[in-house]
Structure 1
C-alpha cells in the first residue's frame, strides 16, 4: 500500500514539473519584470518606497549634490563680473586738514612786521573732494577735483587775511590708438561675461549627465530586481527537482547519485540568487546616491520599488536630424564656441597693445579768491581800507567763470624694435587658428558619437528579437523532459540543462532590454552633452598696454 502511495505522489509531481517547466513560448518578460519590481524583499523591516522614472528625475534635480555644487558656479561668476565692472565705477576721494606753523623771521621780506616780532605765524585749513572714473565704452578717463583752502597769518604782505581760495579742475584723457577700442580692464570684463555663459553651459551639462545617470541607474535597478526574480524561479525549479529525485530514490527507480547532482545544481542556483540579490542592492545604492541629499534623506534608509517598466520603441531613427541637433545644442561645442569668443577678445586686446600710445589730454580749471581784503598805501604798510569778504566770494568767482585756465595736449609713446606685445600677438594669432581646427575636430567627434549611438539602438533591437526567440526555444525542451521522467531515464540529463538554459535565456532577454534602455538614454544624451568637459585651448592674455 505504501509503495502505491509513493507512485501516486511521483506521478503528481512529474505532472506538475512538466507543467511548470514547459513555459509557453510567449512568456511575458515585461510582466516578469513588473512582478519582480513590485515584489517585497525577504523579511526586512524597511519601508518600501514606490518610485517612477519621472519622480527619480525630479528628486535628482532637487537633491542631487553634484547639481547643487554646480549651481553655485554661475553665482560665483556673477561676482567675478561685478568685480570686473568695479574697474569702471567712479571713485570718490576727500581730504581735510588743519595746521599751524610758526617760522622765525630772518628779514623784513618775511612779512613779520615790527622788528620786535621775529615770528611769522600761519594757520591753515584745507578741504578737498575728488571724483575719478574710467569709462568702459571708449577707454577714456576723467578726474574732477574741488579744493578749498583758508589761510590766516600775521604776514603783512598778504592782501587777504584771512584768505579763502577755491578751485574746480576737470581733466579728461582720451586714448586715440592703444586702449581706445579695448584695454586689459575691458578684456577682463568681456572674458568674465563669457565665462558666466560657460558656467551656465557647465550646469546644463552636469544636469544632462546626471539625469542620464539617474535613468540608467533606475533601469539597472529594474533589471536587477527582475534578474533576482528569474534566479529565484530557477532555484525553485532546482529544489523541486531535488524533491522529485528523493521520491524516485525511495521507490527504487533512480540512483542516489541523481539526488546529489540535483542538490549540487540547487546549491549553484542558490549562489546565483545570492549574487543577483547583491547586484540588486548595489544598483539600488547607486540610484540612491544620485537622488538623495544625504544620509538623512527619507529615501536613504528605504527600499526603492521601481514601478515603471521599459518601453520598446520601434520608431525609425533620423540620424541626420539628431546630428544637426547635437551640433547646435551640445554643451561641448557650445563651450568651445564661447572659449573661441574668449580667444577672439584676447586677440583683439593683444593686437591693440601693439599700437602706439597716443592720448589726447584736456584740462579746464576755475579759480576763486575771497576773504577780508586789506588795502594799504605801500607794500607791507598798515591797512588803510578793510573790505569785508569771505568764502562766498571765492565761490562767486567760480560760478561767474572769472578766472578760467584750460590746456590741451597730445602725448605719444611707441616702443622701437620688435616689442613683447607684437610677439604675444603673433603667438595668439597662431593659437586662434589652432583652436578653429579643434572646433572642427569636436564637430566630427559629435557626429561620430551620435551615429554610433543610433547604430547601437538598431543593433540592440535585433538582439532583443533574437533573445525572445532563444527564450521561447529554451522553454520548449522542459515539456518533453518532464514526460521523460515517467518512462525512466535519468531526469538530471534532461531537466538540469533545460532549466539552466531557460534561466540563461530569460536573463539574456532582460539584459538586452536593459541595454536598449541604456542605448536610448545614450542617444538622447549625446545630442545634449558629452561625458567629459571637452573644449578648446584658451589663449593667454599676454602683455597688455
Structure 2
C-alpha cells in the first residue's frame, strides 16, 4: 500500500533527524561528575545497617482494627486495572484509530437507488406543447436509477448507473406513446494536476496514522505521570508511618523523662524541670497527631489514585507498606542514558510525529497550488420501447445502435491563486515551528536526563551522609542521657541539662526523618531517571523472570539499536503486562541488587 511506503519513508527521515543529537551524545562523559556522590560510592561496600523503624513500619501501629498489606506491585496493578483516569486515557488511541477507518472509507464504493414519479397537468399555452387543440397538458413520467459511485485512490471519480422509466402524455409529438426508456451510463473524471495521485489523496490516512502516534505518546506520558503519582503516594505513606513511629518514640522518651522527674519531685528534681518536660510532652503529642493525619491522607490519596474497589471500601483498614526503600548504589552511564532517552522518550516521539504531519500537509498544500486540469470521459447506451415496457427497452439498449461517448478537459485556475499559496505558506511555517519545537524538546531531554542522573547519585550520597548523622546524633543523646541519669554535674544547671537532652532527642528525630526523606528521594530519583530516559513504561530490557529486580544497571547502560525505526517508536500497545513489567523492574525485595 502506498500509504505504508510513505509512512516508512517519513519514519526513516525522522530517525535520521536524530543523528546530530546522537553525535552530540557521544561527547558526553560516561559518568556524572559528582565529588560527593563519588565519596559516598567509595563506601558502598559497607552494608547499610537496618533502622529500628523498618520492621514496625510494615506492621500495624494501631490506627485501625483491620490491616491490609500493600506494595508497589499490587498498587500499580490496581491502578492499571481499576483507575478510571487510566481507563479514560487508554480510550484515546482507540478513539483516534477510528479516524484511520473514516479516512480510508473515503475510497469505499457507494451504491445508490433513486426513483421519481411525476404526474403533470398544466394548461396549454402553445399548440407546440401537445400538437392539437387540447387545453391541458397531461403527462405521466416515472424515472428510476441504480448505480455505483467510487473515488479511486489516484483521485478519479467513477460512476456507473442504470436508468429506466416510462412516459405517457397527450402530446402528438411523443412517439411511441406511451414509451419505456433505459440508459446504461458510465462516467469517469481523473485529475491530471490538482488533486492528482495516490500520495495526495491518501494524505488524510497518513495524517490519521500519525495522529494515533501522537496520541499514543501523549497517553504514555499521562500514564507515566499517573503511575509516578501512585509511587509517590506509596512512599508518602511509608514516610508518614516512619515519621509516626519516630514521633511516637520521641513522645515516649519525653514522657518517660517527665514521669521520672515527677516521681522525684521534692527529692532532686525542680519544678522548672518538670514544667519543661511537660511542655515537651505536649508539643510531641501534637506532632504525633499531625503524623497520624498524614498517614490517613496518604491512604486516601492511594485509594483515589488506584480506583480499586478493594481500597475504596477500606476506610476502616490500616494500609501497611511492605516494600522498603532500596539502599544499593547502581552505576549508570550518562552517555547511554541520553542515547536511550533519544530513542524512547514520548515527547521526542510526539515531536517527530508532528514534523511528519506538517511535512505531509506541506506536500498536500503544494499540490493544491497547481491549476485544476481534469480529464472527463463518459459513455452510455440507450434503449426505447413502446407500451411502457422498460424491460424490452433494457434488452434493446444492448442490441440496437451503438454506444455514445464523450471526452473533454476541464481547466480551472483562480486569478492570483492567493488562497492556495497562503495555505502552502502557512503549512511551511507550521513545519518550521515543529522543527524548533523538536529542537527544544531534545534540549529538554538532554537536560532532564543529566539532572535526573545527577540527582540519583546525589540522593544516594545524601542518604549515606544522613545515616552517619543519625549515628553521631544518637551518641550525643546517649551521652546526655547518661549524664542526666548517672553523673550529674553539680556545677551545671539541671534545667539546662534537661533542655540539652530534649533538644538532642529532637535533633535525633529530625535526622531520622531526614534519613527517611533521603531514602524516598533516592527511590523517586530512580523513577524520575527512568521517566527522563523514556523507559518507565517500556518492556525492552527487562526479563520477565525477574520482575522484582532492583534498578537494573544493565537496563540503564544497555545500548539500543540506533538505526531501527522500531526502536524509535517502540510498541504502542498499552497492555497491562507490558506496563507492569516496566515498573516491576524498579524494586526488589532482595538486598544484593542482582
Q: TM-score if structure 1 supplies the norm length? A: 0.81
Judged with a 3 Å threshold, the aligned counterparts in structure 2 of structure 1 residues 504 and 158 are, in CA distance, closer, same or farther, namely: closer
Judged with a 3 Å threshold, the aligned counterparts in structure 2 of structure 1 residues 103 and 291 are, in CA distance, closer, same or farther, namely: closer
Give 1:403 shift. Answer: 2.8
| Deviation per residue, 1:85-107 (Å, 9 max, x gap) | 44333333332233344567788
The counterpart of 1:509, out of the listed 505, 515, 539, is: 515
Q: What residue is the counterpart of 1:355 in the other structure?
A: 370
Please state whether the residue corresponding to 2:264 is helix, strand or coil. helix
- Whether 1:32 aligns to 2:48 is no
User: Whole-Å Cα distance in 2 between the matches of residues 467 and 97 of structure 1?
Assistant: 90
Q: How does 1:36-55 map to 2 (within 5 A)?
A: 36-42=57-63, 44-45=64-65, 47-55=66-74
| Deviation per residue, 1:19-60 (Å, 9 max, x gap) | xxxxxxx99545512312312334x44x32211110000001
Give 1:371 shift. Answer: 2.5
Judged with a 3 Å threshold, the aligned counterparts in structure 2 of structure 1 residues 163 and 518 are, in CA distance, closer, same or farther, namely: same
Q: What residue is the counterpart of 2:188 in the other structure?
A: 172
Judged with a 3 Å threshold, the aligned counterparts in structure 2 of structure 1 residues 432 and 243 are, in CA distance, closer, same or farther, namely: same
Q: Which sections of structure 2, spanning at least 5 residues, go unmatched?
A: 1-46, 537-594
Between 436-445 and 269-278, report the one with greater CA deviation. Answer: 269-278
User: Whole-Å Cα distance in 1 between the matches of residues 535 and 420 of structure 2?
Assistant: 38
Q: How does 1:479-518 map to 2 (within 5 A)?
A: 479-484=478-483, 485-489=485-489, 490=494, 491-518=497-524
Q: What residue is the counterpart of 1:313 in the other structure?
A: 328
User: Whole-Å Cα distance in 2 between the matches of residues 302 and 256 of structure 1?
Assistant: 43
User: Whole-Å Cα distance in 1 between the matches of residues 423 and 361 of structure 2?
Assistant: 10
User: Whole-Å Cα distance in 2 between the matches of residues 335 and 99 of structure 1?
Assistant: 59
Please state whether the residue corresponding to 1:477 is helix, strand or coil. helix
Give 1:133 shift. Answer: 2.3
Q: What residue is the counterpart of 2:148 in the other structure?
A: 131
| Deviation per residue, 1:189-208 (Å, 9 max, x gap) | 43333222222222222222
Please state whether the residue corresponding to 2:435 is helix, strand or coil. helix
Q: What residue is the counterpart of 1:540 in the other structure?
A: none
Judged with a 3 Å threshold, the aligned counterparts in structure 2 of structure 1 residues 398 and 481 are, in CA distance, closer, same or farther, namely: same
Judged with a 3 Å threshold, the aligned counterparts in structure 2 of structure 1 residues 237 and 424 are, in CA distance, closer, same or farther, namely: same
| Deviation per residue, 1:525-544 (Å, 9 max, x gap) | 112289xxxxxxxxxxxxxx
Q: What residue is the counterpart of 1:95 in the other structure?
A: 114
Q: How does 1:72-221 map to 2 (within 5 A)?
A: 72-101=91-120, 121-135=138-152, 137-181=153-197, 186-221=202-237
Asked whether the 8 Å contact 1:343–1:432 carries over to 2, the reply is yes
Question: RMSD in angstroms over aligned alpha carbons?
Answer: 2.8
Q: How does 1:271-420 map to 2 (within 5 A)?
A: 271-293=286-308, 297-371=312-386, 390-400=389-399, 402-417=401-416, 419-420=418-419
Asked whether the 8 Å contact 1:30–1:309 carries over to 2, the reply is no
User: Whole-Å Cα distance in 1 between the matches of residues 351 and 498 of structure 2?
Assistant: 64
Please state whether the residue corresponding to 1:211 is helix, strand or coil. helix
Q: How does 1:202-281 map to 2 (within 5 A)?
A: 202-250=218-266, 252-281=267-296
User: Whole-Å Cα distance in 1 between the matches of residues 74 and 400 of structure 2?
Assistant: 75
| Deviation per residue, 1:435-479 (Å, 9 max, x gap) | 212211211110110110010011111111111111011111233
Asked whether the 8 Å contact 1:294–1:300 carries over to 2, the reply is no
Asked whether the 8 Å contact 2:144–2:164 carries over to 1, the reply is yes
- Whether 1:526 aligns to 2:532 is yes
Q: How does 1:9-24 map to 2 (within 5 A)?
A: none
Between 233-242 and 123-132, report the one with greater CA deviation. Answer: 123-132
Asked whether the 8 Å contact 2:48–2:327 carries over to 1, the reply is no
Give 1:367 shift. Answer: 0.9
Q: TM-score if structure 2 supplies the norm length? A: 0.75
Please state whether the residue corresponding to 1:249 is helix, strand or coil. coil
User: What is the number of residues matched between the two proteins?
Assistant: 483
Judged with a 3 Å threshold, the aligned counterparts in structure 2 of structure 1 residues 497 and 151 are, in CA distance, closer, same or farther, namely: closer
User: Whole-Å Cα distance in 1 between the matches of residues 508 and 517 of structure 2?
Assistant: 14
Asked whether the 8 Å contact 1:208–1:528 carries over to 2, the reply is no
Give 1:293 shift. Answer: 4.8
Asked whether the 8 Å contact 2:383–2:397 carries over to 1, the reply is yes
Between 452-461 and 301-310, report the one with greater CA deviation. Answer: 301-310
Please state whether the residue corresponding to 2:62 is helix, strand or coil. coil
Please state whether the residue corresponding to 1:261 is helix, strand or coil. helix
Judged with a 3 Å threshold, the aligned counterparts in structure 2 of structure 1 residues 234 and 401 are, in CA distance, closer, same or farther, namely: farther
Asked whether the 8 Å contact 1:29–1:510 carries over to 2, the reply is no
Question: Larger Cα Rg: Structure 1 or Structure 2?
Answer: 1
User: Whole-Å Cα distance in 2 between the matches of residues 234 and 197 of structure 1?
Assistant: 54
Judged with a 3 Å threshold, the aligned counterparts in structure 2 of structure 1 residues 30 and 523 are, in CA distance, closer, same or farther, namely: farther
- Whether 1:442 aligns to 2:463 is no
